[in-house]
Amino acid sequence: MKHQLNEHNKQENPPMHTAEHILNQTMVRMFGCGRSHNTHIERKKSKADYILSEALSDEQVKAIEDAVNEVIGRDLTVTEAFMPISEAKEIVDLSKLPENVSSILRIVRVGDFDVCACIGAHVAKTSEIGRFEIISHNFCDSKWRVRFKLKNEI
């Protein structure tokens, strides 16, 4: 498992991946939807899909962008802890975990804003992320797809 974790981390972009955590929790809080249904993280731009009942307005999209940047600007500490599934299920949604998952999970917290089970690479503090920008979005068949990038300056 440790080798797989290291191989996975080499290919990730910690700032982008951490921004995705913040985006997920922002969507949960603002729209009551689940975390992203499908996500593709890359260094230059990334995308995430959310199941929603209707398309979002430009004002709502701007509010998401502003909310994510506000959390980034808090300079929250990103931490990890390992715990048994029996404990983790009390604090995080485990519905997307594969069947053959280890009995010990890595739980990642972005300050007091987000907590989830994750094997990815993250920044140590949200101030390392940069500025979050939504570059495009569309809605089709109850799926809202958002494409985003990060800029170095906040």
Tens digits of per-residue pLDDT, 2-48? Answer: 333 333 444 579 999 999 999 999 999 999 999 998 999 998 999 99
What's the CATH number where 147 sits? 3.30.980.10
C-alpha atoms less than 13 angstroms from C-alpha of 71 in its C-beta half-sphere = 24
pTM of the model: 0.89
pLDDT in tens, 107-134: 999 999 999 999 899 999 999 999 999 9
Please, which pLDDT band fits residue 153 given cuts at 50, 70 and 90? Answer: low
Q: How far is the C-alpha of 36 from the C-alpha of 21, rounded, in Å? A: 9
pLDDT in tens, 12-24: 799 999 999 999 9
Domain that holds residue 107: 2-151
Residues 50, 138: contact at Cβ < 8 Å? Answer: no
Residues 6+ apart with CB under 8 A from 9: 120, 121
CA distance 24 to 81: 20
Per-residue exposure over 34-63, b if at least 16 CB sit within 10 Å of its own CB, e if not: ebbbebebeeeebbbebebeeebeeeebee
Per the structure, how many domains does the chain have?
1
Specify the DSSP element, H or E, that contains 81. Answer: strand 78-84
